Every structure is written in structure tokens, then in C-alpha cells.
Chains A and B, each alone.
Chain A
């Protein structure tokens, strides 16, 4: 008997399941099909403008910095300004996200834009989020050529661009958006939910930013 059969046999025996049980199967199929939402906190059940404000406030509360711009054309200048004020070299790593690529980077004459996955040598990386979650100021990022996962974790500074229209109140609404965007049940290799910069409290319970991931998380919201 395979290990699978042994374990399954033990589970079914412990639960007193004998043979196929249509009622149980139907219960499971229904739950997977209907994906009930459960208890949704009232905190983020706001009109769109309120969700944007809440998202920004929560993100700052959990250690990110946020700037708001009115158009994608302003993103390159904002990225340059971020690097300059922190005395960082004028270079970034970025994926092939269409919304990022479309922004006019040639306006930043001295900025070097490297494409593709990070090799660990980048001080700053730029990504585009798939959504923002107002309830906790959380970003949702999808892996792929548009936004390689390594950019989320290897650079010391992670700059994430977010379209204000992609902000949702809660995580459950982001799953609804994901199913609309990709189709039900379809997932990329990674979905990263990111709330603030990397941290550790492992030494004497003292919280320190920049454990293994970025020391700083900067969010640029395009309204």
C-alpha cells in the first residue's frame, strides 16, 4: 500500500467514513465553488475615497512611506527624488510591467534602469502592485516577468507603484479581483502580500527593520 493510501485510510477510518459519501462531497464542492467570505471587519467598508485614505494611513502606521502622484508620468521623477534624498546611487532594478515601462523614464537623464530579476546587487527595486488592501495598508504583488519576485526581497529599498483604482477594502475583495483578472483557481507562482518593511524581533524582542528583506518600503500611489 502506498503512503498516500495508508494515510487516507487512517483518516477515513478515524472519521468513520465508509465508501463514497455524496453529501460530504457536495458540501466540499459547494464551499470551493462559492468561496464564502466570512466575517469582514467594518473598518475598511468605506467609499472609494475613504479606502484610499485608510490604505495610506495604515501603510504609514506599519512603517512604509507613501507619496501620491496624479499620473504615471510623474513616477520616474518621484523615484529619482526618493533615491536622491536618501543618498542612493541613481540606479534601479525593474520588471517589464507595462504600466511602469510606459512611464517616461528618459526624463531622468542620470537614472540607470536595469531590467529583469534582481541578482542581489541592486540597492533599489521598483515594482507595480496588483492591488492594495486598505484594512491593513498591505500591497499584493504577483510574480512573473512584469514583477520578478526577487525585486521584492533583495534590494535594500523597495519602491512599489500602486494604481489607486486597485485599492480594495479587504483581502477577500482582492481575491475577487484576482479571479476576475486571472480566472478562478488560477495563480501565479507567488502572490506576495507585503505590509511594511522587513523586520525582526528575535534578539531580546527589540524590533529592528531590514532583517533579510528591504530596510525601507516606499509606496507611490497613482491617483
Chain B
């Protein structure tokens, strides 16, 4: 998709006043948080599993070249074909070639963020091949010409009336008077329509949650079963996956699966966890004749050995955005990038460059909830701070921010002057704050006070309060 991350501020402002969107975003906050909390609390070993999941991925990243070699060997041994893609463009070209060679006219697709990342659908369409999304949420947003607003719940920004409108607009072969008033009838209709597409498709494309080196296996984790129909009914199964999806063994996969579903949807297990190894065997009555894996780098190798390496542990569970106050306020589309929320704010600049995406690492209140819930213990706030520093170093921060910081730095570097200035300024602000102790507007801080009040200082500076606290500590206990 085309990046619009530069416009984050403007898009966020629009999202904040979109009544329908705000209602839909309430579902994210209500639905996901409680379910995850319950599932995590019901498993005493949850935190120990998070530690182990983190360690497994760190081990993989330290031996990535060797595990990739082993994985490739095993895929080949089971009759599959591995294609290496350095860039998104390479991956698009490889998938198109596979489809063209098969004379494909339509391809079905399981839900996959990686094919969003490489903008595969546009490329196939431009070359006369129709891509059909089969995950219900993905299907809906494809009908609308939109992109996913959430990595596991792509249509979470919509309500059922909007979906009904889209189905009536597109499914014109169905009777006009039919009832589409609730999610059950909407799902029923999508099921009927898509059933025919699976059988008609020449190629089925899926992503992968894991690639297992021990066995050369790709794994998808879903609830609907659409990914399975996609990869079983097409004559060719193409997996598009990035290099960091590797895990060593079946056991390692199981360890991470235990934290994945709980963090994502609050389930102990998703309904379908499917392990696929090679094409169908000689005596198999169903399954694809060919099995291809497109292994994509697209900027990941450049993250290895940097302060962003930890991001490569991400398993795309969505917990960080489900718990993010900024995501709750503006939704996924405002980020203007394929990956929204905290994980997107860290990953997008790594993949697309900070020049294009500079505002994203600022889309954070640094409340730390994302890191607290991340099953892979990825220090997201720390990495957003790294990006902010880089952005500043490169003079990409907006002028007001730069001058403000310079002004502050002038005083901060001169402690005596700083203390003198704040010891005058703070009591003054405290008095102006009035009895409510809040400012509803402040000169030079309109960006802050337009949407919320600024608490007035309590009358003492931090340093004065600290000095007093230390003095109290030294007094003998009462």
C-alpha cells in the first residue's frame, strides 16, 4: 500500500471526530483487553512461557543463517520450492511468475499481513489476475477498497450496517429483499459467495505464522478455516513469509503458540493451527500439486545487530495495539502504514525509512502498556525513543519541537540557571493555575491544550520536592 504515514497528524485529527469510527474503536478496547487478561490469568505458566518464547526467538536470530539453510533443505526434501526475495518487488515478481506459469486467472488468499506489506493484490490485478481475499474481515475491506486497520481484525473499524451496504452493492446476483440485518446473516452470505471462489481458484496464497526448520513446515493459525480451504483446494499453494518467522522445532512452535492465541484473541488455542509440509503426496486424495515458499527479507536483515533487532521477535498478535491509548483514539488507518499501533511505529521506519515515517514513533504516550502485554517481551517504547532520537539527529523533527528543545537544552546544560529559572517559573504557574490547578489554554502550548487541560504545577519544583524527600528519609523512623 502507498505510505501515508507523513500525514499522521492530519489523519489522526480526522479520526478523532469520526463518530462511527469512535464507536467501533470502543469494541477494540472492550473486546480484546478483557479476553486477553482472562486467558493469561488462567495459565499460571503464562509469564514463564513469555520468557521462553523470547529466548527461542533470540536464539533463532543469533543463528538465523543456519536455521534458514536447514529450513530450505527440509522444504526441498519434501518436494517444495523455496524462492528468495530481497525486496517487496522481488517477492511480487516471483508470485506473479508462479501464477502466470500456471495460467491462473483467480487466486484465493488467506489472511496475510506480509502480502499487504508487498502490495501483492494491486500487482496481481494490474497483471490480469484477480486476487480474492477469503478471511471475512479481509473480504469486507477488499470490497471497500480499503486496507486492514488492525493486523488480526482487519475490519474492526466498521459496523454491520456498513458491511450490509457493501454486500448489497456487490452481491447483486442475490435477491434484493434478503435479510442482512445481523452478523450471522452477513457471515452466511460471505460463506456462500466465497465457497465458489475456492473451487474456481487456480492458486491459493497464504502467509505463515511460523516456518519450522526441523521439518520444513509452514504454519498458519486461524479461526475461520478460510486459510485451509485456500491452501487445500487450489492446485498450487504459495506461502509468502519473512525470514524471521523461523523457529527451530515443533516444540518451539508449541511454546510460542501458547502465548500467541492468548495474547491475540484471548483463546487458549485458535480453532485451526495448520502445519503444511510440501505438496500433496502421491497417494493423497486432496491438497495442492505444488508448494512454493517465497522467503522475504525486505529490510529485516538490516535490523539484525541494531537496536531494532528485538522487533524481529514480533509474532503479530496485535496485543500492543489492543492496549494502546493512541490506537484506541485514532484507529489503525490514521497511521497511514501497513502495520499500525506500537509495533507499526517501530517496524515501519525500519522497513520504509524514518524520512517517510517520522511521525509514527511520536504516536505514543509512552505509557508502557504495549511492552507490558507483548508476549515476546519486545521493548517497544525504548525502540520508539531510539527512532525519535534518530529523527531529531537528522533534523526531521518539526521546527516548533526543535526550538522548544533547544530552548530547554540551553537551561538544562546550565544547572544553576535552570534552577533559578524554574524556581521563579513554577510558583508563578501554580498561582496562575488557580484553584482548579489546571490550564485550559496556554500560549505556545495550543497543540496540547486544544484537546486536554494542562495540570498546573504544585508550587514546588521537582528538585525542591526531591531534596525535601531525601531530607525526610534521613530522619529516624517514628
Residues of A in contact with B (beta carbons under 8 Å apart):
2-4, 6-8, 10-12, 14-17, 24-25, 27-28, 31-32, 35-43, 58, 62, 95, 116-118, 120, 135-136, 138, 143-145, 148-150, 152-154, 170-172, 175, 178, 185, 187-206, 208, 210-214
Contacts and interface: CB of A to CB of B under 8 A. Distances in A.
Given A38-B255, A171-B257, A14 B225 contact: no
A31 B248 contact: yes
Given A11-B301, A15-B64, A189 B287 contact: yes
B284 A154 contact: no
A214 B84 CA distance: 36
B229 interface: yes
B191 A172 contact: no
Given A15-B65, A42-B44, A211-B136, A149 B268 contact: no
Contacts of A31: 59, 248-249
B297 A10 contact: yes
A40 B52 CA distance: 11
Nearest to A21: B66
B273 interface: yes
Given A41-B43, A149-B232, A211 B213 contact: no
Residue with the highest number of chain B CB atoms closer than 10 Å, among A12, A35, A172, A202: A202
Contacts of A3: 83-86, 90
Contacts of B31: 201, 205
B276 interface: yes
Nearest to B42: A43
Nearest to B156: A205
B44 A41 contact: yes
A203 B186 contact: yes
A15 B85 CA distance: 20
B275 A187 contact: yes
Nearest to A5: B84
Interface stretch (B67-75, B343-351, B406-414): B67-75
Residue with the highest number of chain B CB atoms closer than 10 Å, among A171, A187, A206: A187
A197 B136 contact: no
A140 B156 CA distance: 31
Contact of B249 (A32, A41, A211): A32
26 contacts: A6-B86, A7-B86, A11-B68, A12-B65, A17-B65, A31-B249, A35-B249, A36-B249, A38-B56, A62-B269, A95-B285, A144-B283, A150-B285, A153-B228, A153-B229, A185-B215, A187-B216, A193-B269, A194-B271, A195-B271, A200-B223, A201-B153, A202-B154, A202-B156, A203-B186, A211-B136
B464 interface: no
A206 B56 CA distance: 34
A91 B301 CA distance: 54
A25 B66 contact: yes
B175 to A, nearest CB: 21
Given A32-B248, A32-B249, A189-B280, A212 B225 contact: yes
Contacts of A41: 43-45, 49, 258
A172 B28 CA distance: 33
A36 B64 contact: no
Nearest to B82: A4
Interface residues of B, number: 101
A122 to B, nearest CB: 13
B2 interface: no
Given A24-B62, A187-B215, A210-B191, 4 more contacts: A3-B84, A15-B305, A153-B229, A195-B269
Contact of A202 (B68, B69, B137): B137
Which 9 pairs between the two chains have the least Cβ-Cβ distance? Answer: A213-B225, A211-B224, A202-B137, A14-B304, A10-B301, A187-B277, A117-B286, A193-B273, A3-B84
A120 B269 contact: no
Contacts of B27: 204-205
Contact of B78 (A4, A8, A42, A187): A187
Given A3-B85, A202-B136, A32 B213 contact: yes
B286 A148 contact: yes
Residue with the highest number of chain A CB atoms closer than 10 Å, among B56, B258, B269, B305: B269
B228 A196 contact: no
Contact of A28 (B24, B67, B136, B233): B67
A192 B52 contact: no
Contacts of A154: 229
A200 B224 contact: yes
Interface string B119-161: 0000000000000001111001000000000000111101110
A150 B288 CA distance: 12
Contact of A213 (B84, B224, B268, B286): B224
Contacts of A36: 249, 251
Interface in B269-323: 269-281, 283-287, 295, 297, 301-302, 304-306
B285 A200 contact: no
Contact of B304 (A11, A198, A213, A214): A11
Contacts of A28: 63, 66-67, 70, 248
B404 to A, nearest CB: 36
A172 B250 CA distance: 8
A45 B332 CA distance: 41
B84 A4 contact: yes
B223 A199 contact: yes
B163 interface: yes
B228 A189 contact: no
